[in-house]
A and B are shown apart, each in its own frame.
Chain A
């Protein structure tokens, strides 16, 4: 189990008093939650093995309200943890007992859409899909599309620099933002970025994106929106081995064809997703690629022909083009619900997120298989093949005694492999608490001290989500060195 710093007992002793003071700061008293039963909704996130009731939960509706709350917490030395929808798979939104959780769910409006300048201003609590929905009528979309897009918020996406299946062409969150409104821990509001790209001075927009809610709370976001292509069509290619699929990916990209998405599934993932979504996935294949291309019908056909020609050299067991919108939709539904489908065949799973150089794919897949065998876990692989972002899902049963520790050890072994071959420990899910210690696989203490000095510029008292990202051994959140099981 991952330890957490012991809570601040002085704060806990004033719990009721603090709750009342916070309530008095809200525009509507009912937006401050302090009952244990109601707090339970916020006790965990997508890393649901870890749970902790927070001090209180505030659901502000305006930037001014957020500023008031933070100014008060700053003055009182109360920790704060931002929260969007709580879908973080890394425990990024996991509360601590002595912290106020500041949830953005009521700041969910699209404020302004500017098609001529291809941008939209949104409140940070809007869900990812609702940004695309808001601009769909004019045939625009917001490009980063995490599989959790129905639920997750833009605030969470900014904090984690989230990606999606289509980021091979369109980039991840950081490549699709223009500006932010941020409330600093002391309650001051700062505007970062604008419609003008690459403003003079340091790129605070880039720094904030992916900083895991540790530098400030984001309340508004100016996102880049893009015109939709005329059409898009996924195709399915089944292979006899994972190695052949991996080699095919390398050749497609090597030939200068960059499809909008290349997703990979191994046999266990194919079977589970097919049982769930009935998308027509080839159940006789050892590995499957979902390759999506875009454009007019003519352009799609030209690209598909080229890809079929390349795939043909890798002895495919099947190549299937989607013939209509319903088939295309089913193919993506299978992929986007793949994690959920795993839930049907195993009580729990731990989703890893390392990225590797794509050329190392066959080697890494076989080494992951060995890790599974050594620990006796089944591991299913579903991932963004075009950019090497792996999602090995380690299937386990959280109720079996000791399983959590073993599954976390297996996970760490996989991350070590990713780093060894030149990759990283997290491609899009973030570090949170889950990979806090694994940061030492990639960085030395000097590197991390540099990062921590940056946090201190924005949050000198280390109050904002401080128990995340940096290993506790060097993390100021762990001043007393007393730890508890989360």
Chain B
């Protein structure tokens, strides 16, 4: 057990348990601290606790598609370990450290799970919630709890993995996570679609997502944002992967399909190979095209069929040189960055969930319906009755 600058650094699950049991007040829980600037601040913490030293990889069995590690494992370390065995994390967690002005912080697995952060494949391959098979954590009473396990299918008792995902460390502090991994495919390819108006681009995302060609990711970038990735005009990007003959076949079919279904302009389609694809999608999930020093960054989640209208509205309301947008998840996710301050009130009337990642609203997360607040406060109390773990980091009510 080491203690520096009043930061608790448990080196084992037992130490973690002892520290929480002994806590005299609220604890601020951190992984690497890469997302500290995002959420609400923990209310009156008496101490910080970091899981950075719970970083070991316990096992990785490619043939069983499973990896187990401590929550403090760096995503970068874990991903290179998995890649060496021909695998990856299917939910493709993004790295927002640069975005939050902490380029040296190395995001951890625990942080990606606690914030429920998925990359571009979310709409087609699932998010952290879908790939977390088992957890061990310590609740606010200092009790060690487990749920799930290391096997692919498990309905033994309530699924606490789902509750831990996205709970921002308010319910328990993870001491161990077990995740499903996915094999790296023989071939990855991105179909690059250009020569369309914005609404047509967004229609292209829908058409491709409705097709049998099994996309893993689909994004759209307006011209300015596309330029940051080296494209000369606005672009839709459709990623597929699999065995080589299959990928070759599907990329052609997608081009044919788009030429047939999109009315008006004929899109121009070309393909990016493996390495270009990998770099491109890394930039998109880490939000490189909207980086800079925005005053605000919002994550909007409309239905894909509403995405075009949402973008048109955003442009009408906030037009200016600092406005940047990026559509991911096949149209289910619209990123909005601006040099102007934009508050939740300014976004009123736009459909779908809205979450602030950068900005001055003191409530970054989508407000809850009163009955939801009642239930979620109840859940908080069921795990952490004394409010020791990140109180109010998620919502002011709990």
Contacts of B65 in A (CB 8 A): 253
B126 to chain A, nearest CB (A): 6
Contacts of A201 in B (CB 8 A): 166, 365-366, 368, 372, 376, 394-395
The reply on B129 being an interface residue by CB < 8 A is yes
Q: How far is the CA of A415 from the CA of B355 in the complex (A)?
A: 44
CB-nearest residue of chain A to B382: A453
Known: A196-B332, A228-B212. A454 touches B153 (CB 8 A): no
Contact, CB under 8 Å: A450 / B382: yes
The reply on B265 being an interface residue by CB < 8 A is no
Known: A428-B155, A457-B379. A174 touches B139 (CB 8 A): no
Q: How far is the CA of A467 from the CA of B305 in the complex (A)?
A: 44
Query: Contact flags (1/0) for A443-486 with B, using CB distance below 8 Å?
Result: 10011101101111110000000000100000000000000000
Contacts of B171 in A (CB 8 A): 202
B87 to chain A, nearest CB (A): 8
Contact, CB under 8 Å: A355 / B152: yes
Contact, CB under 8 Å: B212 / A229: yes
The reply on B64 being an interface residue by CB < 8 A is yes
Contacts of A429 in B (CB 8 A): 155
Known: A206-B129, A446-B144. A451 touches B371 (CB 8 A): no
Q: How far is the CA of A175 from the CA of B64 in the complex (A)?
A: 19
Contacts of B130 in A (CB 8 A): 171, 174-175
Checking A356, A358, A389 against B63 with a beta-carbon cut-off of 8 angstroms, the contacting residue is: A358
Contact, CB under 8 Å: B64 / A358: yes
Contacts of A298 in B (CB 8 A): 245-246, 249
CB-nearest residue of chain B to A188: B371
Contact, CB under 8 Å: A431 / B122: no
Contact, CB under 8 Å: B166 / A202: yes
CB-nearest residue of chain A to B157: A451
Q: Which residues of A in the span 164-203 have a Cβ within 8 Å of any Cβ on B?
A: 167-168, 171-172, 174-175, 188, 190-191, 194-203
The reply on B226 being an interface residue by CB < 8 A is no
B253 to chain A, nearest CB (A): 8
Q: How far is the CA of A358 from the CA of B251 in the complex (A)?
A: 34
Contacts of B127 in A (CB 8 A): 197-198
Known: A196-B301, A423-B151. A118 touches B209 (CB 8 A): yes
Contact, CB under 8 Å: B166 / A299: no
The reply on A362 being an interface residue by CB < 8 A is no
Checking B156, B161, B163, B355 against A202 with a beta-carbon cut-off of 8 angstroms, the contacting residue is: B163
Contact, CB under 8 Å: A454 / B206: no
Q: How far is the CA of A100 from the CA of B382 in the complex (A)?
A: 28
Checking A355, A358, A448, A454 against B154 with a beta-carbon cut-off of 8 angstroms, the contacting residue is: A355
Contact, CB under 8 Å: B212 / A139: yes
The reply on B11 being an interface residue by CB < 8 A is no
The reply on B145 being an interface residue by CB < 8 A is yes
Q: How far is the CA of A205 from the CA of B368 in the complex (A)?
A: 14
Contact, CB under 8 Å: B86 / A256: yes
* Residue in B64, B145, B183 with the greatest tally of chain A CB atoms within 10 Å: B64
Query: Contact flags (1/0) for A365-400 with B, using CB distance below 8 Å?
Result: 000000000000000000010111100000000000
Contacts of A115 in B (CB 8 A): 210
Contact, CB under 8 Å: B165 / A387: no
CB-nearest residue of chain A to B154: A424
The reply on B150 being an interface residue by CB < 8 A is yes
Contact, CB under 8 Å: B159 / A207: yes
Contact, CB under 8 Å: B379 / A202: yes
Query: Contact flags (1/0) for B33-55 with A, using CB distance below 8 Å?
Result: 00000000000000000000000
CB-nearest residue of chain A to B184: A256
CB-nearest residue of chain A to B130: A175
B359 to chain A, nearest CB (A): 15
Q: How far is the CA of A58 from the CA of B246 in the complex (A)?
A: 52
A448 to chain B, nearest CB (A): 7
Query: Contact flags (1/0) for A11-37 with B, using CB distance below 8 Å?
Result: 000000000000000000000000000
The reply on A227 being an interface residue by CB < 8 A is yes
The reply on A411 being an interface residue by CB < 8 A is no
Contact, CB under 8 Å: A171 / B383: no
CB-nearest residue of chain A to B375: A457
The reply on A359 being an interface residue by CB < 8 A is yes
Contact, CB under 8 Å: B209 / A199: no
B390 to chain A, nearest CB (A): 13
Contact, CB under 8 Å: A198 / B116: yes
Contact, CB under 8 Å: B166 / A250: no
Contact, CB under 8 Å: B64 / A200: no
Q: How far is the CA of A456 from the CA of B303 in the complex (A)?
A: 34
Contacts of A431 in B (CB 8 A): 155-157
Q: How far is the CA of A286 from the CA of B122 in the complex (A)?
A: 41
Checking B150, B305, B383, B395 against A357 with a beta-carbon cut-off of 8 angstroms, the contacting residue is: B150
Contacts of B376 in A (CB 8 A): 201-202, 204
Contacts of A401 in B (CB 8 A): none
Checking A229, A423, A446 against B145 with a beta-carbon cut-off of 8 angstroms, the contacting residue is: A446
Checking B163, B182, B329 against A203 with a beta-carbon cut-off of 8 angstroms, the contacting residue is: B163
Can you spell out 20 A-B residue pairs with CB atoms less than 8 angstroms apart?
A: A118-B210, A139-B212, A188-B371, A190-B369, A190-B371, A194-B352, A196-B303, A198-B118, A200-B365, A201-B166, A203-B167, A206-B162, A207-B163, A296-B253, A299-B246, A355-B151, A388-B151, A425-B156, A427-B151, A451-B160
